[in-house]
Amino acid sequence: MDSFFKRIIRKGHEEYRIEIGFDDNAIMDNSAKFEIEAERRTLPDGNFEKVILEIDVQFERNQIVISNKDPQKVLATLSLDTYLEEPGDFEGNGIDLDDEEKHIFDSFSDEAGEPLEAGIAETMIGSIPTDPFLGCLIKGAVSTLVGQIIRCWNNMRLRSALSSFREKARDIYGCLREYAPRMLFTFMYRSGKCVVTCGLS
C-alpha cells in the first residue's frame, strides 16, 4: 500500500495508529482502491487490534463503496455525482469542514442505492467494533478521504469522460497525492473535534 499519511498517537497507556493509503495493484484491475488502516494496542507491548476499511472508487457505476475488510461487509455507498462545493473551489478554500463532513455522511446510501437515514452512516462507521477514540480517528479518516476523492473527481470529470478506467484511477491517485498535506490537516481537525465532542480528551 502506498501511504498518503500515517499518524501515531499515544493516549495514556494506549497507542493508536491510523494510515490512509492507495492500493497500487488495483490500477491493474481498472479500479482506484484506497485503504484506511486503524490500529490500537496497550503499551508497552500489547498486541495490535486492527480495523481496515476499503474505499473503492467504481468508475463504471459512478460510485464510491465503503467496506469493512474483515469481516467483509459493505457499510455504505456514495454517488460520485454528490458535489460538495461549487466547481472551481477544488482546493476546498472557504469550505466549512463541519458542514462538508455532515453532507458526506448524510449523502450515503445502502448497497442497493437507497438513501440511509440522516446520521445512520456516521453512527454505523463510528460503531465499528473498537474503542471510541479509535472510532473518532476512523470517522475523521473516512470523511477526509471521501471528500478529497469527490473534489478530485469534480476537477477531472470533464476530461475523464474520455479517459479509460485505468487513466481515471491514476488521475485520482495523483490528485490525492498532491493534496495529502491538506488531507492530514482536515483529518486532524475532524477527528480532534470528535474526540472533544465525545468527551474523550
Instruction: Tell me the C-alpha distance between 24 and 177, whole Å.
Output: 13
The pTM for the full model equals 0.87
* Preceding peptide of 115 cis, ω within 30°: no
Nearest of 56, 63, 55, 101 to residue 82 by alpha carbon: 63
Task: Tell me if 149 sits within 8 A of 135, measured CB to CB.
Answer: no
Provide the Cα torsion 153, 158, 164, 167; round to 10°: -50
Q: Are 31 and 58 in contact (CB under 8 A)?
A: yes
Residue 14 lies in a domain: yes
Q: Using CA atoms, how far apart are residues 87 and 64, in angstroms rounded to an integer? A: 19
Question: Residue 30: CB partners within 8 Å, gap ≥ 6?
Answer: 59, 164, 165, 166, 169
Do residues 49 and 73 touch, judged by C-beta distance below 8 A? no
* Number of Cβ atoms within 10 Å of the Cβ of 23: 19
Residue 121 counted as domain residue: yes
At 35, which helix (H) or strand (E)? strand 32-42
Count of residues making up the chain: 201
Opening angle at CA 75, ends 157 and 148, nearest 5: 30
- Tell me whether residue 201 is in a domain: no
Residue 63 lies in a domain: yes
**123: containing domain:** 2-86+93-195
**DSSP H or E run through 8:** strand 2-11
Residue 32, in any domain of the structure:
yes
> Do the beta carbons of residue 57 and residue 169 sit within 8 Å?
yes
For 31-60, what is each residue's pLDDT tens digit? 799 999 999 999 999 999 999 999 999 888
Structural domain total, the chain: 1
The pLDDT profile of the chain, 201 residues, written as one tens digit per residue, is 789 999 999 999 999 999 999 988 777 777 799 999 999 999 999 999 999 999 999 888 888 999 988 878 888 888 887 765 544 444 555 567 778 788 788 888 887 777 777 666 666 666 676 788 998 999 899 999 998 998 888 877 766 565 788 888 888 899 999 999 999 999 999 999 988 888 776
Asked whether residue 200 is assigned to any structural domain, the reply reads no
For residue 71, what is the DSSP state? T
pLDDT number for residue 98 = 78
Q: What pLDDT, on a 0 to 100 scale, did the predictor assign at position 158? A: 65
pLDDT at residue 36 in the model: 95
The answer to whether residue 44 is domain-embedded is yes
Residue 19 belongs to a domain: yes
pLDDT value at position 94?
55
